[in-house]
Each structure stands twice: as structure tokens, then as C-alpha cells.
Amino acid sequence: MKKNRKLSLLMIGSLFLSAPLIAQSNFKLPDLGTSALQVLPLEKEKAIGEIMMMKIRSSSPVIQDPLLDEYLTSLGNRLVAHADDIRFPFDFFWIKNNEINAFAFYGGHVGVHVGLIAKSDSESQFASVLGHEIAHVTQRHLARRLQKQQDNAGLTLAGMVAGLLTTIVNPEAGLAIISANQTQSMLSQMTHSRGAEQEADRIGMTILNNAGFDPRASSEFLAKLSAQMRFKKKPPVFLLSHPLPDSRVSDIRLRAQQYEERFIDSNLEFLLTKSRIIARFTSTPEKAEQQFRMDIKKHQFSDRTAAKYGLALSLIDQKKLKEAEVILTKLLKSDPSNLFYLDSKTDLLLAQKNTQAALTLLKEHYQLKPNNQVITLNYANAAIEAKDYALAERLLKYFLLDKPNHPLGKDLMALTYKEQKNKSAYHETRASIMVDHGAFQQASDEVQKALNFIEKTDDIKRQRLKALLKQYRQMQKELAKL
């Protein structure tokens, strides 16, 4: 998808970040009160996870990139398929942060910093961290910690969400806040105990092995972090919430030796994902270009192919379109259906103002893979660039029937309605986005605006929006009590 549009669409919290195709919210606040949280049933854990996810969307640099999302979700679900005690669907998402870190919290949400994959030497290393975080969720380590704590009478849901959220997304800032407030009980909620880490190490390694990865990658990754500690004043961010005593490194190395050694090459999709992240999220286009040119000289086969792809991205972002076109033409010739290459080819064609060629290319692939998120969203974006708003609306409505909560799909839908001057639909869509961020007051304002543009004869839509307005206002009141 076109880079200049991505800059406005990729980060949660941008101006047009969603659209309303869900008329009613099924989310219900947990009845936890404002005192001790001694019992945390599954439904309450899920509700807390939803609140935290809303806060993350509204305040953190969450990346919405269909290619990256497909890879992360596919890899995460592959690991989850080999885990026990799955109580709810998992949700994997990217955070734009160059630090090596990943975190899991209530309700099966797993956040991954782009710095983790950028600095992973292999897919098995990257997967080992996801397996570890999945184990924290399946063993309900955070929930169990809450249940065991008996001296938390002053712990409110709002304080827990704010403190834990700050720490898992930005551990250094979170721990500074905790230190300033001298809230030792809160600190215990932010960091996993040694016992929890050992359990997550053991179960995570089993998940990793059963999913077909190299189990020894777990010890490789921890050894890598341990080595970094020797040369830095501050430990890697991951270790602020995942303690790493020397005994843990030894234990996991010994445990890894119980498994048969495997030599598993990283697949091309992992390498392309890593190149995309380096090109678009962890480096400047100029620095990325230099790195990929060096990698092309050093590597062979799939590593070199991924470096060429990364080079093409960095060239497109610098408007060096002719050289990028040469590279992408060769890549597409070798693999015409590769979604990474098709996405970048679309970027190139739109940068060249050749919207009709982009539409022709994507129409062909859309017929083969209808509603694939990478093809569909690129196709809709190209239609918007070509000012074919009827096509964009048709594509997005069909897409959002299947994926009603897709942030980027909703965002493009809102933009389409705006360009069509369909003000009622635009504001209703904006309201839906605000709900995704937990901003029920803003959502109410958007619904009120939508009501102002309803035809006087359209009583059904008017009544539906009034019901929605009432619901959002009630949700705002409930959140204010926390």
C-alpha cells in the first residue's frame, strides 16, 4: 500500500483510524469494584484484556500492516495449535518500538516490538519468544498473581490497567512511575516471578519443539540477551519484565539439550517480514538502502532475495522508482503471486501515478483470492487513488462483512465516505473507530454528528443511531467509574 497513505493509516491514533460497520458493541465492563481483586474468572480476565487493548490502541504506536499482521498471526496460531489450556482466541499485534521486547496480558493478547524480529537471527529465535509469551497466557501467570495477592485493597482496575499497560509497552517508563509512587505491590504485577519465568521457559520450549522449530533457539535468544547485559548500563527492555538470573540461562540451556538438535533454515516469509520491518519501521530509507546493498553482496539464495525486496522498498520510499522497478519486475517474475511483491508493486505504480495499471494488476489477483486482506486493501486503496469511490466502497463493505473490526479496512472505509461526501456514514464510521480506542465520549460526538445528516424520512436509521448514542454514553459513564 502506498507509503504516504500508510503514514496516516498505520499508526493507531491517527486522524482517520477506523470506521463503523458494527452497530452495537458487545463489550461489557467487568464488575470488579474498586477494592481487592482476589478472584479473576475467565470472563473478567477477558474484559480486562479488552480494556487494556483499547488503551493500547489509543496511546501506543500499534502498527496496522496487512502483510506483517498475516505473518505474525499465522506464526502465532501455529504455536498456539501446539499449546495446552487454551481458554480464548489469541490476538497478536505489532508495536513500533526498536527494543527487543514482547509481552502478553489478560485475555490472550500478545504484543511484539518490531525490534524483536529485526534483531532475531532466525525464525526459531523469534518464535521462541512468542512461545514463551503464549505460555504466560495459558498458565494465567498475571491472573494467578492477582489472585494470590491479599494486600491489594487499594488496587483499582484503572490503576492496574494504567500501570501494567505502561510497563508492558514501555517497561523503563513504567518502572520509573512505580518507583516514584513507591508502589511495591504494583511492581509485583508488572514483572513475572522466577517461578513463572521457569514455567514459561519449560512450556514455551515444548510448544516451540512441537510446532516444528528448533527448541535450542530459546537458549540462544536468552544467551544473546545475557551477553548484551555485560556491555550495557541498562538491561534490554525484555528483561525488565522477564528477570534473567544466571541460573535461568543455565536451566534453559540444559533443558534444550534434552531435545534433538535441528537445523532449520528460516523460511522466505520470515526473511521478507524482517526486511519489510527494517525498511519501513526500524531504520531510515537511506540507512536501510545501505544495509540491504551490503546484505546482497554477502548473502545468497533466500537471504539475498529478501535483501533485494528490502532494497526495493527503501528505494520506493526515496522516490528512486526506476531502480525499484527493475528489482520488483525480477522478483515478481520469479514468484508472481507473492503478496509481499504485489504490495510493493502497487506502491511503485501508485508512486508513478499509474493507478490504472495498479487496478488491473490487483483486479486479476482479487479474482483469484477474493477478500484476502493484502490484495483487497491494496485494491481499495488504489481505487481511492483513482477516485473510483464506488469500487472502493464495494470492496470494503464486502471485506468488512468478513472482518468487521479490521482497523485499516475501517480507516479506508471512512476515507471513502469522506470523499463521497456521505457525511452520515463517515461520522458513524468514525464513531466505530473511537469505540475501538475506548473513547466513548468522542464516539458519542460522532454519532450525534451522523444524526445531523440523516434524511428526515429515514426513521429506522435515526432510531438505530439514537440507540447507539445511548449505549456509548452509558459506556462512558461506566468507564469513568473505574
Is 132 annotated to bind a ligand? Reply is: yes
Catalytic residue among 201, 295, 393, 411: 201
Give dist(CA 20, CA 427) in Å, integer: 8
Is 197 annotated to bind a ligand? Reply is: yes
The set of long-range contacts for 82-87, using a CB threshold of 8 Å and a minimum separation of 24, is 82/206, 82/207, 82/210, 82/211, 83/134, 83/135, 83/138, 83/203, 83/207, 84/138, 85/138, 85/139, 86/138, 87/42, 87/138, 87/140
- Could you tell me where the beta strands, DSSP code E, fall in 77-200? 91-95, 102-105, 109-113
- Residue 370's identity, in one-letter code, is P
Q: Which residue carries 460522532 as its cell?
A: 446
Q: Which residue carries 535441528 as its cell?
A: 262
Catalytic residue among 133, 385, 411, 446: 133
Q: Is 437 helix (H, G, I), strand (E, B) or coil?
A: coil
Helix (H) or strand (E) holding 368: helix 355-368
Concerning whether 85 is annotated as a catalytic residue, the answer is no
Is 455 annotated to bind a ligand? Reply is: no
Q: Identify the CA nearest to 74 among candidates 54, 60, 90, 95.
A: 90
Concerning whether 133 is annotated as a catalytic residue, the answer is yes
Q: Is 122 helix (H, G, I), strand (E, B) or coil?
A: coil
Q: Which residues are catalytic?
A: 133, 201
Q: Which residues are annotated as a binding site?
A: 132, 136, 197
Q: Which residues are annotated as a binding site for Zn(2+)?
A: 132, 136, 197
